[in-house]
Amino acid sequence: MLLEATSVLKKYYGYDSFRKGQAEAIESVIAGENSLVLMPTGGGKSICYQIPGLLAEGTTLVISPLISLMKDQVDSLNSMGIKATFINSSLTQEEVKNRIHAAHNGEFKLIYIAPERFESPQFRSLLQSLNVSIIAVDEAHCISQWGHDFRPSYRTLRLAINELSTKPVIVALTATATNEVIQDICKLLSISDEHIFSTGFKRKNLLFSIEKGVDRTSFITNYVKQHKDKSGIIYASTRKDVESLSNHLQKSGIKVGKYHAGLSDQDRENAQNMFLYDDVHVLVATNAFGMGINKSNVRYVIHYQLPKNIESYYQEAGRAGRDGEESECILCFAPQDIQLQKFLIEQTQLQPDMKKKEYQKLQSMVDYCHTEKCLQDYFIHYFIQDVSDQTCGNCSNCMDEREKVDITKDAQIIFSCIKRMNERFGVTLVAQVLKGSGNKRIKEFGFQQLTTYGLLKNYPEKEITFRIQFLLAEGFLKLSEGQYPTVSLTKRCVPVLRNEEKIFQRSLRQPESVSQINDGLFELLRKVRKEISSIENIPPFVVFSDSTLREMSEICPQNLDDMLEIKGVGEQKLAKYGQRFLDIIVDQIEKHGHQPTKEVVTSVKNMKNEHPSFLETYERYKSGQSLHEIAKGRELKIITIQNHIIQAIEAGKQIDWETEFSIEEEKLILETYDKVGSEKLKPLKDLLPDDIDYFKIKLVLAKQKLGTMTKTLA
Ligand code: ADP
């Protein structure tokens, strides 16, 4: 059965192997066991129900609360040649009936349905006519009232499932669930412990970091400018913040979209689509944005303020890097955010015990900002309590090698100044007193008489403010509640004032770029993808994901056979789009001599295909055909044929070197190669006479490589 599943994986999705947890979960569902799949966002949960769905007779119903996502998911499946549709509130009653009727005739393998539908007995009775073999419950944490997105309509699911005469297998899937929620899901959907498949929640490609004590508007502006071609979401807590931050970014020359519940439906939809279709790279939004977003190439998610709890943060930040590419999740923290979140909790109509729970959750969020432990590990401990400590090695705490500066003396001065101001003023005025400012308020209160007045005059006022914010974040100082918070000391100051404890602060961080693209090929492929997306009116990532394009740019397939080896290229997509992407790659190789930086194609192909394409070319070459004759005979481009010969040499096949280049030419190429000192062909070609073409250069270099290898082996 797994063999069949593997061939479906290759045929439709273009992937060679299952990821961790997928095969086990698929086997369990195929074996008819109700199962729970716990995988991080981007971990590949969809395949765990789609492949069993494709292999099973009958129809798979996918229950998903993400209505706006359904169309994309269905488009994506259709583009791979899988028959699927959706039923949600965007359809008329008539359309729903038609789709069910078509499903009855076996036209769809998968149907995506919103949970609310199950509340209608009429709809449930319509379902009776279907041969439902599997029910996939996506975002299964919504079924639990302990989950952060509890949907009461999920509770009617059980009833609907019981009513179905086909007794379908249930597969529940989620990326965020505490132990409490997991137990709830299992109880409600009759899933036993041995059918829980968990790969944990860790997202290795996400680089979590916290920015404390920075001027967040400037930080974000700089960050966005440095990552201007990357897609990113910036979450802010209030509509007002979304408005002011997006205005600021616009004024700084950055094209941004904005999204919050105060905008019209039309404006929100436009903003979402522009972001989805890569027409605008940055979206500033409240948490109203995201539930329905499956954009896979979001390279960063920045939180302008503290979110309300870890569950929300992990879900929002988790919208980065769904395609598995490295992406950043940055949380800008300032202590005053806590007051805002407390205020928002107070505004809710929650019962006292639920309110208390919200406060506890907020505290865990604040602790996340203070911890010096691995940030990924913090999430794991939060979601699954009984696990041992681990480090991810790539979050800001694990990676932080910045020099820590001893700021004890400055901190003592700050504490002392706050004390002398009777702990009755805000951060700005404290900073101004320490700076030695002569402003009216300082004179009014006679603060220029304080012994701490002007003691930090050598620092810019902004830096003094940063220091105070850092001390607040570290818990040495605290802010009062209310509109004009005043800053006061906590008991953590005592050992510092007694010189029993030192305080270190890291120097300010310069954001680094997430990943460098080795050349322009990736960008060109993205452009083609954008063109296709505009013509076909589907989001770019439905055509191919970033990681698929990245792999194309690294491997440089030069024919459709090789292209099929790229992860994410299935037969259907190959037939539809393959040639357009291939043309760009071949063109770039001809123009710039761009070389593959990865050789996955060759190795994979050699393993799987007993008579690979390059061997066919090599045999014809050995039988005396010229390269042009072979190209014509095999209906391949000459450059492909030339590369086959190089591949054959690399695979250990012999050729007669003298027929391809003279000793003088070889010497000249090697001397020039030494001078250029690079593997790049273009600079080499530019320095050589015109009659020495790329193929000759590649042959000479391949010969030299063989020589070096033989020497090393000897
Ligand atoms: P989730 O639902 O867990 O957030 P998805 O199912 O959307 O994740 O998968 C995330 C990405 O990973 C998609 O682009 C998907 O095509 C890709 N993917 C899934 N399984 C595999 C696999 N076995 N090999 C390579 N890529 C995969």
Q: Are 379 and 369 in contact (CB under 8 A)?
A: no
Q: What is the pLDDT of residue 596?
A: 59
Q: What angle do CA 490, 494, 499 make, to 5 degrees?
A: 145
Q: Is 208 helix (H, G, I), strand (E, B) or coil?
A: strand
Quick one: which atom of ligand 1 is closest to the CA of 47? 6
- Does 381 or 298 have the greater pLDDT score? 298
pLDDT at res. 447? 95
200 lines ligand 1 (CB under 6 A): no
Residue 505 has pLDDT above 90, yes or no: no
Q: Does the C-beta of 173 come closer than 6 Å to ligand 1?
A: no
Give CA–CA dist 362/339, Å, rounded: 11
Strand 169-174 to strand 206-212: parallel, antiparallel, or no bridges (unpaired)?
Answer: unpaired
Distance from the alpha carbon of residue 21 to the mean position of ligand 1, in angstroms: 12
- Range from 96-100, 297-301, 437-441, 506-510 that averages highest in pLDDT: 297-301
Pocket test for ligand 1, best of 322, 566, 567 (most atoms within 8 A of CB): 322
**pLDDT above 70 for 73:** yes
Ligand 1 contact via 319 beta carbon (within 6 Å): no
CB of 396 sitting under 6 A from ligand 1:
no
Q: Which of 349 and 307 is assigned the larger pLDDT?
A: 307
Strands (E) across 635-690 are located at: none
> What three-state secondary structure class fits 103?
helix
Nearest to 697, CA basis, from 559, 587, 565, 593? 593
Ligand 1 in reach of 296 Cβ (< 6 A): yes
How many angstroms is it from 95 CA to the middle of ligand 1?
30
pTM flag (> 0.95):
no
Which atom of ligand 1 has the smallest separation from the CA of 43?
3
Quick one: pLDDT at residue 329? 96
User: How many A from CA of 23 to the centre of ligand 1?
Assistant: 13
Ligand 1 centroid–CA 45 distance in Å is: 7
Q: Provide the pLDDT for residue 249.
A: 94
Q: Cα torsion for 174, 175, 181, 184, to the nearest 10°? A: 10
Ligand 1 mean position to 49 CA, how many Å? 12
The reported pLDDT for the residue numbered 515 is 33
Please name the residue whose Cα sits nearest to atom 5 of ligand 1. Answer: 44
Give the ranges where 128-259 is alpha helix by DSSP (H): 156-163, 179-189, 216-226, 239-251
* Domains of the chain, CATH where assigned: 2-198 (3.40.50.300), 206-384 (3.40.50.300), 405-505 (1.10.10.10), 520-592 (1.10.150.80), 606-706 (1.10.10)
Of all atoms in ligand 1, which is nearest to the CA of residue 294? Answer: 7
Reply yes or no on whether the pLDDT at 232 is more than 90.
yes
Quick one: tokens of 406?
């001893």
User: Which atom, in ligand 1's list, is nearest to the CA of 541?
Assistant: 14
Q: 512 Cβ partners below 8 Å, 6+ apart?
A: none
Confidence of residue 300 (pLDDT cuts 50, 70, 90): very high
Q: Compute the mean pLDDT over every residue in the chain, rounded to the nearest whole number.
A: 84
Which amino acid residue places its CA nearest to atom 23 of ligand 1? 18
Q: Supply the pLDDT for residue 416.
A: 96
| Contact residues for 436 (Cβ-Cβ < 8 A; gap 6+) | 448, 453, 454, 455, 457
Reported for 260-268, long-range contacts at CB under 8 A and 24+ positions apart, including other chains, are 260/285, 260/286, 260/288, 260/289, 261/286, 261/288
Instruction: Work out whether the CA dihedral 330, 334, 338, 339 comes out positive or negative.
Output: negative
Distance 46 CA to ligand 1 centre (A): 7
pLDDT at 146 over 70: no
Mean pLDDT calculated for residue range 480-498? 84
Where residue 61 falls among pLDDT bands split at 50, 70, 90? very high
Return d(Cα 342, Cα 402) in angstroms, integer. Answer: 33
Q: Is the pLDDT of residue 519 over 80?
A: no
- What does the alpha-carbon distance between residue 610 and residue 53 come to, in Å, rounded to a whole number? 32
Regarding predicted confidence, which is higher, 308 or 648? 308
The answer, yes or no, to whether residue 546 has pLDDT greater than 70, is yes
Distance of alpha carbon 232 from alpha carbon 319, whole angstroms = 9
Q: Which of 245, 205, 447, 418 is nearest to 327 (CA)?
A: 205
pLDDT at residue 677 in the model: 64
pLDDT tens for residues 259-281?
A: 999 999 999 989 998 998 899 99
pLDDT top residue among 591 and 456: 456
Give the residue whose CA is nearest to atom 2 of ligand 1: 45
Concatenated DSSP letters for 211-222? EESS-HHHHHHH
Q: What are phi and psi of 365, to 5 degrees?
A: -65, -40
Burial 685-701 (b: 16+ CB within 10 A, else e): beebeeebebbbbbbbb
- Residue among 46, 72, 316 to mutate when testing ligand 1 (max atoms within 8 A of CB): 46
d(CA 680, CA 677): 9
- C-alpha to C-alpha distance for 586 and 588, rounded to whole angstroms: 5
Find, among 556, 562, 526, the residue nearest to 541 by Cα: 526
List phi, psi (to 5°) of 338: -60, -40
Q: Is any atom of ligand 1 closer than 6 Å to the C-beta of 46?
A: yes
| Tally of residues, the chain | 714
pLDDT at 49: 97
Write down the pLDDT at residue 704: 80
Confidence (pLDDT) at 385: 59
Nearest protein CA to atom 17 of ligand 1, as residue: 44
> What is the per-residue pLDDT for 602?
37
pLDDT beyond 80 at 59: yes
Q: Is residue 325 in contact with ligand 1, taking CB distance under 6 Å?
A: no
The per-residue pLDDT for range 234-265, each reduced to its tens digit, is 999 899 999 999 999 998 899 999 999 999 99
> Quick one: what percent of the chain has pLDDT higher than 90?
34
Residue 561, pLDDT above cutoff 50: yes
Q: Do the Cβ atoms of 288 and 262 come closer than 8 Å?
A: no
Q: Work out the average pLDDT over 593-621.
A: 58
Q: The tokens of 72 are what?
A: 């994309």
Determine if ligand 1 sits within 6 Å of the CB of residue 15: yes
Q: Which is the closest atom of ligand 1 to the Cα of 175? A: 3
Contact 497, 436 (CB under 8 A): no
Residue 132's pLDDT band, with cuts at 50, 70 and 90, is very high
Whether 12 lines ligand 1, by a CB cut-off of 6 Å, is: no
What was the pLDDT predicted at 481? Answer: 60
CA distances from 54 to 43, 46, 111 (A): 20, 12, 12
